[in-house]
Structure 1
């Protein structure tokens, strides 16, 4: 992406960076570099030369507290940041480079972006970086480091009126360790033990005690017979399937490679994914067994201010992570119209073209017209009704700028017309961010004649609040 000049916000600036919100998280330092949040790949202090009253001065624009130095960051509204230099604690630090920039920022009263780190052992480096918003240097001094040499210290205070960043992260970590500490809980587990991890029901908005009654199920129910007898593919891998193995039938079914990375992340969206089935001799630890194992995140169903009930996670969610399956009663898509507009719990495989090529490399590198590339997903002949029975997926609301997309997956039968509908994260999703997907627009996919105007009753006003909101969906 760097070689292709696809970095953005390359001109340094003080204050917020366009497109970056407080609470956004990053798994690699270079992610921050690509978007212009922090241009230094290794150094913790990013600087620039700015003009103040016709005088040039060097100031800090962003700092990263990565837990390498003796920074004091227990306070969510303040941080004591250790300066750079000193040959890894072998001599005194000097008032130069980043240290000088922070000192001049104190003098000039300029805004500084602050990125904090948090432990996450699901990552290779054991940490995640969280953008915590705008701070200002309040004071500075020289102190003795652990090795006995002089170290510059800078105390930064967080500007008021910003959304929660690291504070939300630490709050949800406490809830994960002790779920009873989460307030406003109506039901500790709406799945009644059906899910691997309990799903709590929460209302911080009003006094409503919960959604209308439904039966919680973790698997789809087929109302019409499907060809379950047709076997799914079967590989002959004795331990685990390996990427690039030309003898692995599962890999060949997926276009010659496996759809998931070694840590279980979806590599890119595909028309249909084939996971290893029960007939495959490979172990349960095979990287091609992801969605069939169920979710591993701590979810809560919560009351929104204006869109009924919604879904969010206490855990951070990395892009490509499996979230959940859409369960309910599988029915012929031509019966959708019979249920009327009062049923808001029907999944239909409508077109959401913005994510059809998610993480598609030629598109990312702007090498190919997406409309003319690769194969399009096959129209699905069914819909899923989750009004009477379903799982957490029924609570995901629509958004014109979604953070989740649906992906057809096969793992237990060979009828390609009836795959499982699995949801994955489009991007990194911070804790307590509502999970949404694009309900789509195309009515023609349903195979119903709307020429008489009857289809207009399906169109709903969109309340997603996105800057790219279409104004309606359905």
Structure 2
């Protein structure tokens, strides 16, 4: 790997190397904790799900969808029946603007028990708690985005659902790793990715929601000097230079004054001082790198790149003309690759042929918008058994829905909050996706617009019909045959792919269990998990809370002869992908499809897995693995031992 240019070159004034004592010790001020959103209760066959005013009738019942659910809006303006309500104007008061009222710290406002987070886990978490907090954060963020898109919620001056979601979580005590520390953070792995800075805050990886340097003053120190615990390198300064193992980090402050455009020198205080102290003490510093999101270049993805040590520090004249502090951080050896993986993937995506085990450039033969590469660096097998690549279902199963209008009359695109749109009404008045195509919550059925609708093909309510959104590859695993992994970062709730294949009858599945490796069956028993938002965190009241179980129509798909990338997804007892039934109309008939969505954020080069479930006809044999099931090799700490 190439190294960055050594800052100790002759161009640097070594007489200005930082080795000065502060005039006074600076005690850092840390933000208070925000609240956390809850996951929702999944529906059958995933497990119990909080009834969200969902239609209790199955698609085959011929019933008209249930009325649009009532809820109390998060801004506390009373109940509504799903209709867009114009928010009341807040009365402007100079006194209230100058002296905002502080919210009472009511002990009852702590809702961490809803998520099983103990007091000890708030201080020091683990992987499970971190996952719960992150899922809860994104669940509330998606719901707030949904309400904002429908003009049912106004967040005032802050129109960012991520900031509001983080504030709710911290206020309600739904967070972890509140105890500041130097070094690794429990439950966070090198390579983990985050799409919002507030996510770093609620899991204790990096406390400032905007500042690039996080620091602390350890208790009991004879000299109360701030020490750096983490930095976020997101390219905010034009002086930053980095490679896989070395990061040249520019200190904070010294930005030009917008009025007179004068440039100020950076000062040796706060974060800059903390980095200098950490350099002198050889402390470990957590490094989070920010990169542009390929799917949305206006946004960034943050990857935790592990622990670094500050090897050298100095002061120089920046490109903007002001004096800046520079810190050379070197990655500690023996850690898993993270940022280096991103750089390698970028080369592969650009067509770099020098890659071990590369077999085929595009398994789909041009059927997908992105090529599906085939790679085997494990053994000499040249590829999976022959099959016909298809993007959609063959012989789909139709369902009749008795309703006044089965297609929408929207002339351009369906608009969130428009209850004149029949497709939105079938989703109980909620647009199922956010403005950037993220699924808001799991439902018994998601009703999408179909080819018969008058809206444009790029309507946001066709998220599962637009093909792959990420570049993927089929690869050979060490012990589970062929698998599927992503080359791009995937955000939680994003559509991954459809399960394509032939819709078959149950009688066509071999009785001895052989040949069903590529069979998807909606009637299997699936493990429950929470993914949707907790209404109580938003002070919403559901109008339908009688039953949490919902019946999913029977659908069996075989991808053995015909299929797409979904046929290569392996089973895991703790998957990162889940399936969602989607219904839309084609040729005057409604067809059921199985769409896969990301359960949580998925880093590049991560295998995509989902829960295969357990057949209801499984018989228990004398061996440890029940008869009719396969031994599970997912390696999860919660592995149940078998599946199928």
- TM-score scaled by length of structure 2: 0.67
- Is 1:65 matched with 2:233? yes
Residue 128 of structure 1 is matched in structure 2 by 301
Residue among 619, 627, 630 paired with 1:457: 627
- Contact 1:271–1:377 (CA<8 Å) still a contact in 2? yes
Going from structure 1 to structure 2, the CA distance change for 1:215 and 1:130 (only over 3 Å counts) comes to: same
Residue among 351, 370, 374 paired with 2:525: 351
Q: Deviations over 1:399-451 (max 9, x none)?
A: 111110011111235777x611111111111111000011123x33xxx4848
Residue among 251, 254, 257 paired with 2:430: 257
Residue 206 of structure 2 is matched in structure 1 by 38
- TM-score scaled by length of structure 1: 0.90
* Structure number with bigger Rg: 2
Residue 84 of structure 1 is matched in structure 2 by 252
**Local SS of the residue matching 2:465:** helix
Give unpaired runs (5+ residues) of structure 2. 1-168, 257-261
Going from structure 1 to structure 2, the CA distance change for 1:367 and 1:249 (only over 3 Å counts) comes to: closer
Alpha-carbon distance in 2 for matches of 1:461, 1:51: 50
Cα deviation, residue 190, structure 1: 1.6
Q: Deviations over 1:88-131 (max 9, x none)?
A: 47222222111111111112211111011112253374322111
Cα deviation, residue 242, structure 1: 0.8
Cα deviation, residue 184, structure 1: 2.2
Map residues 359-438 of structure 1 onto 2, 5 A cutoff: 359-362=532-535, 375-413=548-586, 419-438=592-611
Give unpaired runs (5+ residues) of structure 1. none
Structure with more relative contact order (C-alpha pairs < 8 Å, separation 6 or more): 2
Q: Which has the higher strand share?
A: 1
**Local SS of the residue matching 1:152:** strand
Going from structure 1 to structure 2, the CA distance change for 1:440 and 1:376 (only over 3 Å counts) comes to: same
Q: Deviations over 1:123-154 (max 9, x none)?
A: 37432211111101111111112243321111
- Is 1:208 matched with 2:381? yes
- Contact 2:475–2:482 (CA<8 Å) still a contact in 1? yes
Alpha-carbon distance in 2 for matches of 1:126, 1:166: 18
Going from structure 1 to structure 2, the CA distance change for 1:375 and 1:96 (only over 3 Å counts) comes to: same
Map residues 92-111 of structure 1 onto 2, 5 A cutoff: 92-111=265-284
Alpha-carbon distance in 1 for matches of 2:628, 2:391: 28
Q: Deviations over 1:224-260 (max 9, x none)?
A: x756899982111111111111111100111111111
- Contact 2:499–2:596 (CA<8 Å) still a contact in 1? yes
Map residues 267-286 of structure 1 onto 2, 5 A cutoff: 267-286=440-459
**Local SS of the residue matching 1:239:** coil
Cα deviation, residue 332, structure 1: 2.3
Alpha-carbon distance in 2 for matches of 1:409, 1:333: 21
Alpha-carbon distance in 1 for matches of 2:580, 2:541: 22
- Contact 2:559–2:567 (CA<8 Å) still a contact in 1? yes
Cα deviation, residue 202, structure 1: 0.5
Residue 167 of structure 1 is matched in structure 2 by 340
Going from structure 1 to structure 2, the CA distance change for 1:381 and 1:432 (only over 3 Å counts) comes to: same
Cα deviation, residue 380, structure 1: 3.2
- Contact 1:292–1:411 (CA<8 Å) still a contact in 2? no
**Local SS of the residue matching 1:32:** helix
**Local SS of the residue matching 1:99:** helix
Alpha-carbon distance in 1 for matches of 2:540, 2:450: 36
Cα deviation, residue 179, structure 1: 5.8
Alpha-carbon distance in 2 for matches of 1:270, 1:229: 17
Residue 144 of structure 1 is matched in structure 2 by 317
Going from structure 1 to structure 2, the CA distance change for 1:365 and 1:4 (only over 3 Å counts) comes to: farther
Alpha-carbon distance in 2 for matches of 1:12, 1:92: 30
Q: CA RMSD in A?
A: 2.9
**Which deviates the most, 307-316 or 462-471?**
462-471
Cα deviation, residue 275, structure 1: 0.7
**Local SS of the residue matching 1:138:** strand
Count residues in correspondence.
465
- Is 1:48 matched with 2:222? no
